[in-house]
Amino acid sequence: MLETRPQSSLTIPIALSVLLLIMASCGVVPKDYPRDKPFVWDTKFHIEGNLSKEDKEVLESQLRSQLDDSMRAKTVYKLLYRGINRPVLVNPPVFDSASADRSVIFMTALMNKLGYLRNSITYDPDTTIVDDGNRPAQHRTTVNFFVTTNQLFRLDSITHVINNNELQALTDASKKNTFLRKGDPFAQQLISEELNRLVQLYRENGYLKFGFEELSGVWDTLNLAILRPSVDPFDVRFLEELRRRRDSPTVDLEIRFRPGYNVDKVKKYFIGHTTIFPDYSVVDTSGRVPTVIVYDSNFTFVSYRNLFKRKFIAQNIFFRKGDLYNEKRFMKTVNRFNDLDAWRVVNYEQLPRGLSDTVDIELYLTPNTKYSVTANIEGSFNNSNSIILQENLLGVGANVQLINNNFGRSANRAATTLRYSTELDTKGQFVKTRQASFTHIVQFPKPIPNVRWMPEKYRDNFRTNLTFSLANTIRNDFFNLTSLNASWGYSTQWSNKSAFVKFPNIEYAHIIKRDTLIQFLNDNPSLRNVFPENGLVLSVQGGFTVRWGQGKSSQIIRTNFEESGLLGNLFDLKIFDSLFKFVKIDFEYINNFTFGKNNLILRGYVGAGFAIKTKERPTNPQLPFFKQFTAGGPYSMRAWGIRLLGPGSTLKYRKDAPIRFGDFQLEFNGEYRFPLTRLWGYRVASCLFADVGNVWFINENPDFPNGNLTESFYKDLAIGMGTGLRFDFDFIKVRLDYGLKVKNPTPEPINSQFQNKWFADFKPLGGIIQIGINYPFAF
C-alpha cells in the first residue's frame, strides 16, 4: 500500500480524466480498410414486435451473436493512436450480400428456436462515401436488419409417452419438476432442458447408459379435432377456435422415445466391485509392485506408495456395492476428489459386466505434489506532508509459505507462513517499524467431530479449520506488541450461500508502551482501556454471506458477529481479569451493475461494537485497539490516509492523534469502472469513484469533542471523490487511486474554517495517491 500527497508532477490521474473526456468526444477511426470497396462500418437492428424495451435489447444481443464472421466490425481502443485515445475499427471486412444472407439464415434459425415460427428478417445496406482528401475514400456500409417477430408460439398441451412402464412411472412422479408449462414459449432451450431433466432422472435411478439421443419431442401446431367431418365449418365455436389459433398460435408437444431407440440403453444397473487407485501415475508407478487390499468388503485398493488413509477415501465415496446406480452420487464422488488439493487428476471407468445388470467402477486418482513453497517480496511507500507531522516511510517485507496438500495422509491442507517486514523512516529514525509473524493453518475437508445429523447439502462442502499465529510488532516510538491468536472453526457453502463460525477464538495481546504512545494516552486518558498492557479476547465469531443475481445486476450481502467474554464468566481465573467483553456486528451490501464492458458498483457498510464492563475495567469500557473500526486508506475512504479519518467531527492535530478509530462505522461507496486499453497484452482499466463515511464513538468521549454518534451524524459524514487506474496482470490486479477531499469533518485545527464545508480548500493537485492490490470491495 502507498499513500502520498503528490507534487506538481504527479498529475497522471488528472491527465487521465482529460484523456477520457477527449476519447468520449472522438468518433470511430477506420484502420486498414478496403480501398474503393464498401466495407462493414456498422450493423443495426430494427425489431418490430410486442416486446418490452428490455426484451428487445436481449433479443438484439442474441441476434448480433448470429452474425456471419464477415459481417462483424471489430472496434478497439488504441491508446494515443494519432496522438489521442480513440476507438479504432480494425480491418473492417468487405461488405458481401452473401454474408448478409447467411446471417439472415442464422438469425431465422435462432428466432425459430425461441418460438417465433412466423418471423420475418430482411436487410438493407446503406453506403456512405467519406473522402477527407488525405486518405483513400471510405465506402462505409451500415447494414440495417429489419426483424419482425410476429406472434410467439406457446405450449398448449404437454404429454410424456414413454414406452417403458418403470420409466413412465418415474416421469409421472416427477412432473412437478418439469421445465414445460402450459403457456410457456415454444422454445428449443426449454424443451432441451426438459429432455436433459428426464435423462438425469433416469440415470439417477439405475439407467446408466440412457442418453439424450433416446428421446425426442414431437410437436403439432394444428388441433386435429377441429377437422373432424362432424364439425360444422360455419359453427361459431369452430370459427372462434380458428381465430384464436391464428392470433395466439399454440403448439401441442409430446415427448416420447425416438423411433429406433437403442433397447440396450434402457437397462437398469447395480454397483458391483469398486477398485480405487489412490496414488495412480503412469510414470511413477511403472515397474512398481502394487499392494492390493480389500477394505470394508466394498472397495479394493490398489496402492503403490501408501500415501493416503483408506478410511478417509472410503468416507468420500458415496455409493456401495449392491446399490442401484445413481449418477448424482457417482459424480458427487468424482467432484469431491477433484475439489481436494491432494489430487491433481481424477479419472474413472464404468465397466458393465456383459449381459448382466452389474457395473464395476474403477477410480484413478493421480496425486498432486505434496509440498509447495512460495515466496513473495512486498513494498510500500508512505509520504505524509502534514503541517505538524512529516515522515517518509519506506516499507519492505518478505514472506515464505510452505503448503502441505496431504497433511495426516487424509488430504488435509496445512499452510505455514513466515513473514518479516520493516518500515524505514528516511527522516529522523532509520528503522521505524519491524514486524515478524508465524502462522499455521490446517484445513480438514470434513466436520470434526463427524456429525451425521447435519443435512447433506451442508456437509458436502464442510470444512474444519484450525488456526494458530504468533506475531511481534515493534514501532520504535509507539509500542512493542506481542500477539497470539488460536481458533477452531467451521465453514460451509451451499447453493449461493456460505457461512462460518469460530469457537473458540482466542486472541491475546501484550503491549509495552513507548514514549509516543504514553504521551498519546496522557493527552487522551479516555483511551487507556483501549491499549491495556495485557488484552485477552475469548470469543465466538460467525458470518453469513449470500449472493444472487447475474447478467446486468449481481448482489451480495455479508454479515458478521462476534461476542467475547461470555465463557470467561464461567471461570474464576486470574488470566480472565484482562478479558475484554464486547459484542461486535457488521453488515455489508454490494450491488454490481453491468453495462456491456462497464460496471457500476454500489456498496453500503455499517458496523458497531458494544463494550461491556469488567472487573479490570469497571468504568469507561472500550473495545481493544485491534477490534476498533478505522477509516481511510486504499480500501476505505480513499481521500484520507490509513486510519486518519474521524472520529466524528473532531479537530485534532495528527501529532496529538496519529491514529483514529471508533466503535461505530458507516460507509457508502460508488465506483464506475470501464476499460481503457491493453499494454503489453495486459488489460488496463480506469474508474470514477465517490466515498462517503466516517467512524464515531458510540458514547461521548471528553478527549474527542464532537467525536460521538448523535442524531445529526449525517453532518459528520466525510465525502471524497477521485479516479484511478487498474492494471490486470491476470494473477494479480494492481490499483492506483487518486482521491480528493470534497467534505472534510476532521481537518487539522489550523484549517478549522474548512470543516464540513463542501469543496472548501479543494485543490485538484492536492489529493492523495493510494496503491492497493485487487479491488477495494471484494465481490
Q: And the C-alpha cell for 113?
A: 428456436
Give 164's strand partners.
none
Long-range residue pairs from 354-359, CB within 8 A, at least 24 positions apart, any chain: 357/267, 357/268, 357/269, 357/270, 358/269, 358/270, 358/271, 358/272, 359/208, 359/269, 359/270, 359/271, 359/272, 359/325
Q: How many residues does the chain have?
A: 779
- pLDDT attached to residue 724: 93
Residue 241 parent element (H or E)? helix 236-247
Give 563's strand partners.
540, 583
- pLDDT attached to residue 22: 43
Averaged pLDDT, 390-397: 57
Picking from 584, 620, 583, 577, the residue whose alpha carbon sits closest to that of residue 708 is 620
Averaged pLDDT, 453-469: 84
SS3 217: strand
Confidence of residue 654 (pLDDT cuts 50, 70, 90): confident
Higher pLDDT: 139 or 423? It is 139
- pLDDT attached to residue 78: 56
- pLDDT attached to residue 721: 96
Least confident window among 426-435, 693-702, 719-728: 426-435
With a cut of 60, say whether residue 381 has pLDDT above it.
Answer: no
With a cut of 60, say whether residue 387 has pLDDT above it.
Answer: no
- pLDDT attached to residue 687: 94
Confidence of residue 19 (pLDDT cuts 50, 70, 90): very low
> Which of 113-122, 416-425, 446-455, 765-774 shows the highest mean pLDDT?
113-122
For 542-596, the DSSP string reads EEEEEEEEETTEEEEEEEEEEEESTGGGG---GGGGGB-EEEEEEEEEEEEEEET
Rounded to an integer, what distance in angstroms lies between the CA atom of residue 88 and that of residue 438? Answer: 52
- pLDDT attached to residue 410: 94
Measured CA distances, 588 to 37, 301, 547, 772 (Å): 57, 48, 12, 20
With a cut of 80, say whether residue 177 has pLDDT above it.
Answer: yes
Confidence of residue 168 (pLDDT cuts 50, 70, 90): very high
pLDDT digits (tens, 9 = 90+) for 549-577: 887 889 999 999 999 987 766 666 666 77
Confidence of residue 679 (pLDDT cuts 50, 70, 90): confident
Q: And the C-alpha cell for 547?
A: 449472493
Averaged pLDDT, 712-727: 94
pLDDT digits (tens, 9 = 90+) for 254-302: 999 999 888 889 999 999 999 999 999 866 666 678 899 999 899 999 9
Average pLDDT along the chain = 85
Confidence of residue 83 (pLDDT cuts 50, 70, 90): very low
The alpha carbons of the chain give a radius of gyration, in whole angstroms, of: 34
With a cut of 80, say whether residue 744 has pLDDT above it.
Answer: yes
Averaged pLDDT, 353-374: 94
Averaged pLDDT, 424-443: 80
- pLDDT attached to residue 543: 97
Confidence of residue 141 (pLDDT cuts 50, 70, 90): very high
Give 158's strand partners.
253
CA 468 vs. chain centroid, Å, equals 27
- pLDDT attached to residue 428: 52
Averaged pLDDT, 59-65: 93
- pLDDT attached to residue 390: 40
How open is the CA angle 532-535-536, to the nearest 5 degrees? 160
Q: pLDDT exceeding 90 applies to what percent of the chain?
A: 57
Higher pLDDT: 160 or 617? It is 160
SS3 459: helix
With a cut of 80, say whether residue 431 has pLDDT above it.
Answer: no
With a cut of 80, say whether residue 221 has pLDDT above it.
Answer: no
Averaged pLDDT, 176-185: 93
With a cut of 50, say whether residue 382 has pLDDT above it.
Answer: no
Least confident window among 81-90, 220-229, 373-382, 584-593: 220-229
Residue 61 parent element (H or E)? helix 53-64
SS3 759: coil
Which pTM value belongs to this model? 0.77
